Structures are given as structure tokens and as C-alpha cells.
Amino acid sequence: MDFSSIPSIFTLVALSALCAHVYFHRNEDTSVRGSILFLLVLPSLHTKFLLNYYPALQATLTAFSLYYVVLFTSIIAYRLSPFHPLYKYPGPLCCRITKWTTAQVALLGETHRWVRDLHRRYGPIVRTGPNELSIIDKDMIPFILGSQGMPRGPLWDGRLFGEKDGKVYDSLITLRNQEEHAKLRKHWNRAFAAAPVKGYEVLLVRRMKQLVQGLEKACRDSPNEVGKIDLAKWVSYLAYDFMGDLAFNGVFNLLVDGDSAGLLKGMYDAMVLPSITQHIPWILPFLRSLPVVNAGMSGFIDFAEAQVKQRLSKTPKHPDLFHYMIEAAEEADSGMNPESLILQNSLLAIVAGSDTTASILSNVFYYLMRYPDYYKHLQEEIDGALDGSGSVEADRLTNLAFLNAVLNETLRLQPAVPTYLNRAPAIGSGGRGLSTSMFIPEGTAVFVSPYTIHRDPRYFSPRPDDFWPERWVQTSAKTPLITDDKEPFILARDAFIPFSVGPANCAGKPIALIEMRLAIANTVRRFDMAFDDDFDPDQWERELLDRFVIVKGQLNVALRLRRL
């Protein structure tokens, strides 16, 4: 091409921009080098051709402006055109063009409510990104999440726990290769099999006693024996301490000493960045290079490293979760450094083993106090089951109908992971069929939102937005509850996915259910509680933030000892 005229130079710039579009479309480049090459270096090279016609500053502005205008126009035109494979699916115009919209919503912590509003407006399948669909059709769940499902999608590249000293700290939960995931997951399955879980209960009972004793002290230390506490903080202490017992041989003692070191805040701060970058994974390397932005995650990694070193120096009497992490690291043949893998899974244990349980328990107590009749009903059931027994044993709680109903209803309304259960067709597969009429091309991400599907009247009716535990105590599918509502009674258990489903479901579900039942039973049996006078119940749900897991605010409670 003759570069002796301005039109020919402009043509070169435009063609280069179109080539960049093709590159990014095919490669979904996430490397800093690739992004710098096509976004900075290439337009810079064109500047020198314009220096013969314009001053340096004008030449630079002209080259970059034309390059970006053509690049972005090409990208937008394709994403909105009938040639795009997701063209037929409805969704907001801004989402069809860019994922920056979802990143902005994530920054505010509003993703769970926003996704639900989209489905109310557009239906069960919504295009939430240029190459992303949100689906709330229960018949497709087995082909998205289940045993016939797909591997994790590109969002997980933006959820990596962090990077420090050149090492990227990943974990079981972010592995996108199904074979590697299956190899590592078997050790977590061993860790939460029936026999180990029975051993963990001993640790759990000790922590339950500390919880009750701490709450009793709060009552007795008050002049009128009414303890004023933040109950959400106390159940967070419980979950964090038990996770420390389970994974690190008892290194935390928040129930007794409090959290003067800010451990909980450190964990929450670390979760903010991945909750945003999951929507724009390619920007993660840039943000990690900024110490101020990456400070929360870097501090969280430092903290986890210290716990790993401390645990490696001990030999507990009974195998704990860390024991199985070591086994997984020793047997891993995926090319991962064993020490790095142990740290990765420790990061996972801290978040998945503590905050999820704490958020569910906090919401259980919120709903019980919001509806005091349910609180009394649950107290009566627990009192009757224990029948004067001094101790609360997990086995005696397993089949309590109303306790399980309260727990299920809370998990339905406020699942700990509310939104992005993300999957995508395997790389090199060409795509995946989700039904006889729906084919997902390779490069398309699909996610299911438990928060949204759990409130869908097609699957939970009547009163899908109400806390109504009775829906879970029907005697059978043939004899449903009789209600005064005009809507039909529907309880689609195959649409109930608070722990996800399939090979990547929550490995710790067995011990999490035991922990939650014990915490509810011990607390409800020993105390009467109500919202503190200055607490606004409506504010609680408004302040629940979606940071991949739910982040909660304060739950201010007036607590009084029961006279048993």
C-alpha cells in the first residue's frame, strides 16, 4: 500500500483496527502483552506515518482516535447484528454491547436483584453480555450444572483468588478443566464423607458451647438481663472459628477474644475485586499490578500463608480438612506446585467454609425474628425433640420437619451464592445443546441464578417472595398444602439449587447443614430474641450485597435468656 497520502494511511489504520477485532474475538485475550500490543503499540506505529502531515500531538490523537473508533464501531456492529450467534435472545442494549454494565452493577453489590429484574422483563433466557446468557429454566439445569453439564466458564478466570510474587493462586472452585477438577475433587469428597464429618462434630459442639456462653454473658452483663448484640457478627465468629478448627487445627478464637485483628474485614475486602473482575476477566492482570487496588487480596493471601505454615508445623490427633488438602497436593498431577495448591485450597476453605454458613444463619435468625410466630413454633419443636436433654445432638435434629423447613425456606430466598453459577461449552467442543431447540456455541458463557430461579412462580407458588416455611412440610406431592391463595401450590424441588448441583456442587454441604442445624437449635432453645428497638428490619435485606457470596450488614438484636 502507498503510504504517501492521508487516505491510504487512514485505510491502513482502519484495517489494523478490524484485524484487532478479529484477534480479540477469536482469542478472548487476557494477557497484558496481547492487550498492550493491540490497544497501544499498533496504533502508535501508525502515528509515524502521519508525522509527515501533522504535528506530533495531532498525529498521535488522529491515529489513536481513528483506530479506536473503527475498532469499537466494528465490535458494537457485530454484537448487535443478526450475524451474532446470540442475536435472537432478548436483553438490554447495553448488555448486548459490553460487560462493563454487569461490572458496574457488581461494584454496587446489586447483581442478584438486577438479574432477577432482567428476567421479569425479558423472560427465562436473557442475554446479559455480548457472549453470555442467563437461564432460569429448570429443565436445562442438568445440562448446565448437572452430571451432563458443562465445565466452568470464563467468569472463573476473573475470580482467581489472587497473585503474589508472580504466582497465581487458584483453587478447586476455579478450575475450568473437568478432568483436573475431578481428580482434586475426590479428596474433598473424602474429607466430607460420613466418617470424617462425624469426627468434625466434636469440634463443632465445642464451638456451639462457646457461642451460647458468649450470648449468655451478654445477657447477664446487662442491667436488665437483655443483651444488645450484633447477631450477624456472632454467627460469623462461630463459622470462622469452626473453619479454623476444620482447616488449621484451631488457630482462631473469635468467639472468646473478638476480632481485634480485623480478620473478617480482611476476607470481605478480598472478595470485592473478584466480584467485579469476574465480568471483565481480561482487566484482572492490569488491576493486580496496582498495589492499592490489589491490597485486599494480597493481604488475604499473606494471612492464608501464615495459617498454612502454622498448620504444617502441627500434627492433629484426628485427620482434619487440611489433611485431605495435603493428600490432594501430593497426588496432583496437573503441574501445580503442591505448596501452592495447599494455599489455594486454604483460601477456598476460609471463604467457602465460613462466610457462606454465616450469611445463611444470619438470614435464618432475621426471618425468625421478622415472623415471631415461626420462632415460637420452632422453639416448641426443638423443646419437644430434646425432651429435657441437656445437650443438643446433631442426630436428633436431622429429621425435625419445621427446622428443616425454616432452613430450606431461608436457602430459597437468600442462597449464599445468589447469582453466577457459570458454565460454558468445553474448549474445542464447538458448542453444546441444552435442549432440542437450543444450541450454545463455543465461546458463550451460561449462568444460572439461584436467587432468581428460587423466586420464580413457575417453580415456587404461591407467594414466591414470602418467607413461608409451610411450603416445605407438605406430606407428599399428591397431598399438597391447602392454602387460601388463588395461585396453585407448586414446589419444584429440582429448581432448588442453593448448594448448586452436579460434579461441582458444594463439597462441604454435609457439615454445613449440621453446623446450621446445631447453631439454630442451640440458640433458639436457649434464648428469646427480637430486633433491637433502633433496628430497621427492611434495611437488612436492602443491605445484603452480592460479592459472589452474600455479604451482610449488622443484625442488631435484643437477647433474653429463656427460663427452661
Percent of the chain whose predicted confidence (pLDDT) is above 90: 49
Which of these, 112, 78, 69, lies nearest to 96 by C-alpha position? 78
Name all contacts of 311-317 with Cβ < 8 Å and 24+ positions apart: 311/247, 311/248, 311/249, 311/251, 314/249, 316/249
Distance CA 250, CA 381 (A): 33
Tens digit of pLDDT for each residue in 191-202? 888 888 888 888
Average pLDDT of the chain to the nearest whole number: 85
Residue with the bigger pLDDT between 12 and 551: it is 551
Q: What is the structure's pLDDT at 552?
A: 92
Considering 26-35, 109-118, 555-564, the range whose residues carry the highest mean pLDDT is 109-118
136 neighbors 156 (Cβ within 8 angstroms): no
The single-letter code of the amino acid at 240 is Y
Counting beta carbons within 10 angstroms of the beta carbon of residue 516, is it exposed (0 to 12), middle (13 to 18) or buried (19 or more)? buried
**17: pLDDT confidence band, cut at 50, 70 and 90?**
confident
Q: What is the structure's pLDDT at 564?
A: 67
Q: Mean pLDDT throughout 416-428?
A: 91
Distance CA 107, CA 272 (A): 8
Distance CA 287, CA 273 (A): 9
Residue with the bigger pLDDT between 74 and 42: it is 74
**Apex CA 114: angle with CA 113 and CA 118, to 5°?**
120
Distance CA 99, CA 132 (A): 9
Q: Mean pLDDT throughout 27-54?
A: 74
Residue with the bigger pLDDT between 508 and 25: it is 508
The runs of H, that is alpha helices, within 192-290 are 194-220, 231-248, 254-257, 263-277, 284-288
Q: Mean pLDDT throughout 411-436?
A: 92
Q: What is the structure's pLDDT at 524?
A: 96
Q: What is the structure's pLDDT at 247?
A: 78
Q: What is the structure's pLDDT at 103?
A: 93
The C-alpha cell at 230 is 450484633
Distance CA 113, CA 497 (A): 17
pLDDT at 148 over 90: no
Tens digit of pLDDT for each residue in 285-322? 677 667 666 666 677 777 777 777 777 777 766 677 77
Distance CA 439, CA 432 (A): 6
**271: pLDDT confidence band, cut at 50, 70 and 90?**
confident
The C-alpha cell at 103 is 461490572
| Cβ atoms within 10 Å, residue 179 | 9
pLDDT at 330 over 90: no
Q: Give the SS3 label for residue 438.
A: strand
**pTM of the shown model:** 0.89
Q: Tell me: is residue 506 an annotated ligand-binding position.
A: yes
**260: pLDDT confidence band, cut at 50, 70 and 90?**
confident
Q: Mean pLDDT throughout 473-493?
A: 68
pLDDT at 120 over 90: yes
Chain Cα centroid distance, residue 507:
14
Distance CA 537, CA 555 (A): 9
The single-letter code of the amino acid at 445 is A
**76: pLDDT confidence band, cut at 50, 70 and 90?**
very high
- The upper half-sphere exposure of residue 295, i.e. CA atoms within 13 Å in the direction of its Cβ, equals 4
427 neighbors 442 (Cβ within 8 angstroms): yes
Give the C-alpha distances (Å, rounded to integers) separating 155 from 99, 159, 278, 320.
Answer: 11, 7, 5, 31
Percent of the chain whose predicted confidence (pLDDT) is above 70: 85
**84: pLDDT confidence band, cut at 50, 70 and 90?**
very high
Tens digit of pLDDT for each residue in 513-538? 999 999 999 999 999 999 999 999 99
Tens digit of pLDDT for each residue in 208-232? 999 999 999 999 999 899 999 999 9
pLDDT at 412 over 50: yes
Residue with the bigger pLDDT between 308 and 494: it is 494
| Cβ atoms within 10 Å, residue 256 | 11
